A and B are shown apart, each in its own frame.
Chain A
């Protein structure tokens, strides 16, 4: 650095020649970094992973990326909005079942009935509520909209009654349990404990063909990147800041003239839509959807990944979800039976000692370098902020 340098390098590439309007918005360097980040992620998912991973591992990765989509939604609802939702399995399941019903009907034989219905033999014809799912024009939007509508209805009731904190967590978990009971109880039309299995085709493509499996993987990877872009926009918008304000001071926000219930509802509905989409894409990737995949235990596992990665950050939930899902597969192959304990231990350790998740280590390293500039510009980088030590946000 010489004395000639007119400005620190950090703003040198953001010259703002007019000099009139202060760069309130993070400038060109910031946008460039984001674009580079997305390009790196895309290269990793679309080029590196298919090259280095076997077909089997790639299909596992596809499954993990679906879990990561749920995690992105939980990051919004919980990390940003303070709503610890232990029942995302419900929305994941709604999306998954909607997709599986359509695929089963598309696969169905001459009678137009899915195989398991014929097997149980209680029904002469397709139940009324199955019929619309025969049309992809209904089923595909339904995978996302159905969870969103359910979340809207539930959230309207719950948030207006100011149910929050641990009570909200328990309520959302109970919903996951109720959904499982309902599915198992209606075995004749839902497949019961088995769920909807043997899904072989995906809009005319044979899912047993590795090429088509690879295509499904690409769809999933692309969707995840799109959801991340959407989430990034959301958390940097004014709404995103408002959501954090509601998380940290719901009553205060109310006195500023906002209805916190509506603010939370939006985040909850968005998270539900993401979980639904994840469920829908999970079905062609794995070939099955069943109550065991959407109940209380998987719902909690979704949250563990988010906590480990760092719930208030953009990438933390994704990386945490993939890492935990990967560890679960690898470790349970090697030490069957002990993974559950390891997972519980991991959760406790993270919550107790690293409440911001692994992302907070990264943030710690960058804080000194990055924040000085942001401070000068007036806006705090939302993603790099300390997260409260409390597990369940105080009511």
Chain B
């Protein structure tokens, strides 16, 4: 059910301005295929705006390539069809449709008109597989609106899986989750990254330490630091941004900044 090949994301000198305010100011970063890259940074650092630019929600200059395709300048749904899927800070499942219907719609962007005009007769294979992967098979028939917060986030990830996204951009996937749910989400990320590239915006440092393979720190629209978790934590510039002053390596950054 996964993509045929593993592609990396290449962001070059991307800039996004809103009425003179520059939210993303020349960001370049390379996410190799199969990575789990965490994007962190204080509020207003431009993390979500960068993801918005990659997915076509806001206009940007520069270049964003995924595999062989340039993404900038394409409409949102075309970018999505190239295999880029994202989630949002607030969960955006279709609350009145069942879990199964949510997944079925996510799986269907390439369906022909004739298929759309008919009823579904059975559960598509990729939908059944995703239901197992995200652990919601039991809840398949329930309206998505009745799911717990964490389950909605998983459903969103499941929707990206059946959508056949090969690049997953997740905006704060574990916000508001319990410890158990975070662990389950982390395990889910490791599973899906076997044949996909994953970019996660996250504030939860504990979660980051456990599941990040690499980290990019954004600050004021620029890349402040990049590397492994240990490298980034040891970077005095990162400590300064997070705590206001450099401290001993290893103790910062900690906790969630508000």
Contact = CB atoms under 8 A, between A and B. Distances in A.
Given A24-B121, A249-B92, A257 B104 contact: no
Contact of B94 (A24, A249, A374): A249
B77 A259 contact: yes
A389 interface: no
Interface in A180-228: none
Contacts of A386: 96
A340 interface: no
B94 A238 contact: no
B179 interface: no
Interface in B116-153: 116-123, 140-143
A238 to B, nearest CB: 5
A75 to B, nearest CB: 16
Nearest to B84: A255
Contacts of A51: none
Interface residues of A, number: 34
Contacts of B80: 254-257
Chain B's interface size range is: 35 or more
B108 A380 contact: no
A46 interface: no
A188 to B, nearest CB: 44
Given A248-B94, A257-B110, A238 B119 contact: yes
A74 B75 CA distance: 29
Nearest to A254: B76
Contact of B105 (A251, A253, A377): A253
Tell which of A25, A253, A256, A386 has the most Cβ of chain B within 10 Å.
A256
A239 interface: yes
Contacts of A241: 97, 101, 104-105
Contact of B101 (A21, A234, A253, A380): A380
B89 to A, nearest CB: 13
A378 B100 contact: yes
B141 A244 contact: no
Contacts of B86: 255
Contacts of B97: 241, 244-245, 248, 380
B101 A256 contact: no
Contact of B141 (A233, A256, A378): A378
B95 interface: yes
B196 to A, nearest CB: 16
A24 B120 contact: yes
Given A256-B105, A257-B77, A258-B109, A25 B120 contact: yes
A304 interface: no
A239 B111 CA distance: 10
Given A237-B117, A249-B94, A257-B81, A378 B109 contact: no
A22 B123 contact: yes
A305 to B, nearest CB: 23
A236 interface: yes
Contact of B95 (A233, A248, A253, A256): A248
Contact of A380 (B77, B88, B141): B141
A378 B120 CA distance: 11
A29 interface: no
B105 A378 contact: no
Tell which of B115, B118, B141 has the most Cβ of chain A within 10 Å.
B141
A2 to B, nearest CB: 29
B109 A25 contact: no
A253 B88 CA distance: 13
Interface string B52-87: 000100000000000000000001110011000110
Contacts of A244: 94, 96-97
B68 to A, nearest CB: 18
Contact of A238 (B92, B102, B120): B120
A314 interface: no
A25 B101 CA distance: 13
Contacts of A255: 55, 76-77, 80, 85-86
B117 A239 contact: yes
B140 A252 contact: no
A375 interface: yes
B109 A257 contact: yes
B209 to A, nearest CB: 29
Given A242-B105, A252-B88, 4 more contacts: A238-B119, A241-B97, A244-B94, A255-B86
In the A-B complex, list the 9 residue pairs whose CB atoms are closest, starting with the nearest: A257-B109, A257-B80, A375-B141, A239-B116, A252-B92, A378-B141, A257-B81, A380-B98, A254-B76
Interface of A: 21-22, 24-25, 233-234, 236-239, 241-242, 244-245, 248-249, 251-259, 374-380, 385-386
10 contacts: A21-B122, A24-B121, A25-B122, A236-B119, A239-B116, A241-B97, A248-B95, A249-B92, A257-B163, A380-B97
